[in-house]
């Protein structure tokens, strides 16, 4: 693989042309980000319960004293022995972020349906330290459309990424955002799925800068190349 090789002057001209397009994209992204922040909220009516290292937690507990909460929906069903390798790829970038988010009034946690003991063992195996709780026995994953009932899977019709889809399996990834007011009421402000979660994957952002890019076009499926960090 080698692109056209040119003089420095021609390279600089091409770079400045691309820079103009990049700046336009950045301005459009900033506008989209403002629009995202201005989305209306919906009140969370259910009393969800989660299992963490110190026992049972409510959704407000996950805010850990902050007014905003980011949840990564990590694919790990109760009967699985390992978490999803693609979600694990995402999770390798999570450590180190929560302390910075906390200083902008944001808490972070991953949530999965597997029992907490499985999550904790897997987290230790891969060397992670971010918060991770179990929603086993709760409707949380189903209500936020990242897990699907046996009936939905049998019918091959599951509501995911804001449309009916087939072949979803039991669990899919996503990100959901919540806010809590001074009275303690919790609101759902945003959720995204599939390519919407690309923006938090640092490795993919770096790959998008190099000549080969993600280099996935010839693979059978996206991220076929990905392994858990202890399996390369």
Whole-structure pTM value: 0.95
Does the structure show a pLDDT above 80 at 86?
A: yes
Rounded average pLDDT over 134-146: 98
Rounded average pLDDT over 143-158: 96
Distance CA 223, CA 158 (A): 23
Mean pLDDT of the chain: 97
Range of the domain at 199: 43-207
Q: Are residues 109 and 25 in the same domain?
A: no
Is 127 part of a structural domain of the chain? yes
> Confidence band (pLDDT; 50, 70, 90) for 1?
confident
| Tokens 């969370």 found at | 44
Q: Tell me, what's the pLDDT at 116?
A: 98
Q: Are residues 134 and 157 in the same domain?
A: yes
Q: Tell me, what's the pLDDT at 217?
A: 94
Contact present, 113 and 74 (Cβ < 8 Å)? no
Q: Tell me, what's the pLDDT at 126?
A: 98
Rounded average pLDDT over 52-81: 98
Q: Tell me, what's the pLDDT at 2?
A: 84
| Strand ranges (E), 61-183 | 68-73, 106-112, 132-134, 158-160, 163-165, 174-180
Q: Are residues 201 and 159 in the same domain?
A: yes
Is 227 part of a structural domain of the chain? no
The CATH number assigned to the domain holding 69 equals 3.40.30.10
């Amino acid at each position: 693989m080698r692109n056209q090789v040119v003089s420095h002057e021609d390279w600089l001209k091409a770079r400045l042309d691309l820079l103009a397009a990049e700046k336009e994209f950045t301005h459009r992204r900033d506008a989209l980000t403002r629009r995202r922040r201005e989305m209306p909220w919906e009140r969370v009516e259910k009393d969800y319960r989660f299992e963490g290292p110190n026992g049972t937690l409510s959704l407000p507990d996950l805010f850990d004293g902050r007014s905003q909460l980011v949840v990564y929906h990590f694919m790990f069903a109760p009967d699985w022995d390992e978490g999803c390798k693609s979600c694990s790829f995402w999770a390798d970038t999570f450590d180190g972020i929560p302390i910075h988010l906390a200083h902008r009034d944001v808490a972070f946690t991953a949530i999965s349906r597997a029992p907490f003991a499985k999550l904790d063992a897997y987290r230790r195996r891969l060397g992670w330290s971010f918060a991770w709780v179990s929603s086993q026995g709760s409707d949380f994953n189903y209500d936020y459309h990242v897990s699907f009932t046996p009936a939905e899977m049998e019918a091959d019709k599951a509501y995911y990424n804001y449309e009916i889809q087939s072949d979803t399996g039991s669990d899919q990834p996503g990100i959901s955002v919540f806010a809590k007011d001074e009275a303690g009421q919790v609101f759902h402000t945003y959720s995204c799925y599939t390519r919407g979660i690309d923006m938090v994957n640092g490795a993919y952002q770096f790959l998008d800068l190099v000549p080969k890019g993600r280099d996935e076009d010839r693979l059978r499926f996206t991220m076929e190349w990905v392994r858990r960090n202890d399996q390369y």
